[in-house]
């Protein structure tokens, strides 16, 4: 039998890429590949790239420069190292990648990962292989399922893609071009994935999609199901104690999703709802198709049915034409909503998007100063949110051993890491996969420290979530 070939995948960017990297491992495992953490002993290195901002996509070229040296060293040692570029840079730049970095053997877009074995073989035979089409077949039908042992090794929390692509065309964003049009997977396929994950120890599922609440997959009744309906069905899967979804668009929040937050104890009261700006003028230039007031109304609808709910968001600072008044509106919106956390980015012009042709660029110094002010406000809100947990008893889903010997770490409903020491005589492994109440005593940077507030049962079966 041939010895296993070693695969190293480096992933950049969003959750979708983390998930895609796992699916690439699942495609290549039956081909005799095993993962390695080291680039130097890899037979195949895949860069799973992100094109969302210029900085992210330029990183790929500096990494390819380093990989050229690693490949030369492998050749000197008599080994062949193949190099593949996957993800959104592959999709957006295609042949340009090979022109700038001839060291690349394979360029593969996000819709073609199921063709990786054939592309590697073609690169072996012909020196190079590129595939950045949007193939007519659905890649999900061809992606192999991970083995039970692989699922277990990946831990108790898993991502499941339910929707890909985006039809919204925000003027700054490359996603509709790199990931293509919106496609939803059928309910039955998602349910089968979730049941298989649950059977192999997964307790928490995060449904992912570029625009996840635009989900409209075929249901078993022949109708298109909404995300809310899908969540309701998945909450009934034995073993699944927590459900999340990301990333949502404010315009796609419908009554079913609000009802799911009202009715499902397993649906965590923490929603990532990007708004990008608090200025109606900038929101219109971004083609967001909602105003700041529309966004506030959506937030109010969630809060009306689930008082425990908290939000995070994305903001772009320095979109072309953003004035001091526009930026002040963003700060006002953040102050009004009160976030548990948020990401803020400097606007980055992306080739091919309408905003890249807009002329009124915000000067770099102004941009830096605005980003700093926004981040300070968000940090202050996040610290206040975390501090508010001190003295409370909150449910924690335990995930793995902590950094200190004997310690175990899990997450609250709001994804805050929480660390505890199990009671004397109890192995921390026995708690993995269980939701238990923890009394929070203190905060160390972003982590909560506390003590179990109930004696855990001695068996490893998870308890039902009791809500936040």
Q: Give the Cβ contact number of residue 202 at 10 Å.
A: 25
Give the range of 219-227, 229-237, 345-353, 412-420 binding ligand SAM by CB under 6 A: 345-353
Sole binder of ligand SF4 in the list 160, 173, 207, 208 (CB under 6 A)? 173
Q: Give the Cβ contact number of residue 182 at 10 Å.
A: 18
State how far the alpha carbon of 116 is from the alpha carbons of 41, 61, 209, in Å: 20, 21, 22
Paired strand residues for 5: 33
Name, in order, each residue with C-beta under 8 angstroms of 152's C-beta and a sequence gap of 6 or more: 200, 201
User: DSSP letter string over 205-272?
Assistant: EEEE-TTGGG--PBPTTSSBPPHHHHHHHHTTSTT--EEEEE---GGG--HHHHHHHHH-TTB-SEEE
Sole binder of ligand SF4 in the list 28, 166, 241, 452 (CB under 6 A)? 166
DSSP 8-state symbol, 318:
S
Using an 8 Å Cβ cutoff, are 185 and 462 in contact?
no
State how far the alpha carbon of 245 is from the alpha carbons of 88, 233, 393, 466, in Å: 21, 14, 25, 19
Rule CB under 6 A: say whether 434 interacts with ligand SF4.
Answer: no
Number of amino acids touching ligand SF4 (CB under 6 A): 10
Q: Smaller CB distance to ligand SF4: residue 40 or 252?
A: 252
Using an 8 Å Cβ cutoff, are 402 and 408 in contact?
yes
Sole binder of ligand SF4 in the list 6, 249, 261, 350 (CB under 6 A)? 249
CB of 322 to ligand SAM, least distance (A): 12
Rule CB under 6 A: say whether 295 interacts with ligand SAM.
Answer: no
Residues 111-150 that bind ligand SF4 (CB under 6 A): none
Paired strand residues for 447: 444
CA-nearest of 319, 327, 328 to 360 is 319
Give the range of 57-65, 108-116, 169-177, 190-198 binding ligand SF4 by CB under 6 A: 169-177
Q: Smaller CB distance to ligand SAM: residue 252 or 451?
A: 252
Q: Encoding tokens for residue 112?
A: 């073609």
Secondary structure class of 366 (helix, strand, coil) = helix
Q: Smaller CB distance to ligand SF4: residue 169 or 446?
A: 169
Rule CB under 6 A: say whether 176 interacts with ligand SF4.
Answer: yes
Sole binder of ligand SF4 in the list 211, 306, 313, 330 (CB under 6 A)? 211
Strand 163-164, strand 183-184: pairing: antiparallel
Q: Smaller CB distance to ligand SAM: residue 185 or 249?
A: 249
Q: Smaller CB distance to ligand SAM: residue 104 or 316?
A: 316
x/- map, 425-464, ligand SAM, by CB under 6 A: ----------------------------------------
CB of 242 to ligand SAM, least distance (A): 22
Separation of alpha carbons 335 and 9, rounded Å:
40
Sole binder of ligand SAM in the list 7, 21, 25, 52 (CB under 6 A)? 52
Residues 183-212 that bind ligand SAM (CB under 6 A): 210-211
Rule CB under 6 A: say whether 173 interacts with ligand SAM.
Answer: yes
Q: Encoding tokens for residue 142?
A: 């061809």
Rule CB under 6 A: say whether 316 interacts with ligand SAM.
Answer: yes
Rule CB under 6 A: say whether 344 interacts with ligand SF4.
Answer: no
Sole binder of ligand SAM in the list 15, 29, 251, 348 (CB under 6 A)? 348
Site for ligand SF4, rule CB under 6 A? 166, 168-170, 173, 175-176, 210-211, 249
Site for ligand SAM, rule CB under 6 A? 14, 52-53, 172-173, 175, 210-211, 247, 249, 274, 276, 314, 316, 345, 347-348, 350
């Amino acid at each position: 039998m041939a010895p296993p070939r070693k695969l190293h995948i480096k992933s950049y960017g969003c959750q979708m890429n983390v998930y895609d990297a796992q699916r690439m491992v699942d495609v290549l495992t039956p081909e005799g590949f095993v993962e390695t953490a080291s680039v130097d002993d890899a037979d195949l290195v895949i860069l799973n790239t992100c094109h969302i901002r210029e900085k992210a996509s330029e990183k790929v070229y500096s990494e390819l420069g380093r990989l050229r040296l690693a490949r030369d060293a492998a050749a000197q040692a008599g080994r062949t190292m193949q190099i593949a570029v996957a993800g959104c840079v592959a999709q957006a730049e295609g042949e340009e990648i090979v022109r700038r970095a001839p060291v690349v053997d394979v360029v593969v877009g996000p819709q073609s990962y199921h063709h990786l074995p054939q592309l590697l073989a073609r690169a072996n035979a012909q020196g190079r292989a590129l595939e950045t089409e949007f193939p007519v077949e659905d890649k999900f039908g061809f992606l192999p399922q991970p083995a039970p042992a692989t699922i277990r090794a990946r831990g108790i929390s898993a991502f499941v893609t339910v929707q890909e692509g985006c039809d919204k065309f925000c003027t700054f964003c490359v996603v509709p071009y790199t990931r293509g049009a919106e496609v939803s997977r059928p309910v039955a396929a998602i349910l089968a994935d979730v049941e298989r994950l649950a059977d192999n120890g997964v307790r928490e599922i995060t449904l992912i999609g570029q625009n996840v609440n635009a989900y409209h997959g075929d249901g078993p009744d022949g109708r298109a199901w909404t995300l809310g309906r899908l969540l309701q069905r998945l909450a009934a899967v034995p073993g699944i104690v927590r459900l999340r979804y990301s990333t949502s668009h404010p315009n796609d929040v419908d009554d079913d999703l609000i009802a799911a937050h009202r009715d499902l104890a397993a649906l965590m009261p923490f929603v990532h709802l990007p708004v990008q700006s608090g200025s109606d003028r900038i929101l219109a230039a971004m083609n967001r198709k909602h105003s700041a007031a529309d966004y506030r109304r959506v937030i109010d609808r969630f809060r009306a049915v689930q008082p425990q709910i908290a939000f995070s968001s994305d903001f772009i600072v320095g979109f072309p034409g953003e004035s001091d008044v526009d930026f002040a509106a963003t700060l006002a919106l953040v102050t009004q909503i009160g976030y548990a956390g948020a990401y803020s980015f400097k606007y980055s012009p992306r080739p091919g998007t309408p905003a890249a042709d807009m002329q009124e660029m915000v000067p770099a110094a102004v941009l830096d100063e605005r980003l700093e002010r926004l981040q300070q406000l968000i940090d202050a809100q996040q610290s206040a949110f975390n501090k508010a947990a001190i003295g409370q008893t909150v449910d924690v889903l335990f995930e793995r051993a902590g950094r200190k010997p004997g310690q175990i770490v899990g997450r609250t409903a709001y994804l805050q890491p929480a660390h505890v020491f199990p009671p004397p005589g109890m192995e921390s492994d026995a708690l993995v996969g269980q939701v238990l109440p923890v009394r929070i005593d203190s905060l160390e940077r972003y982590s909560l420290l506390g003590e179990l507030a109930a004696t855990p049962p001695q068996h490893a079966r998870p308890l039902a979530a009791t809500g936040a």
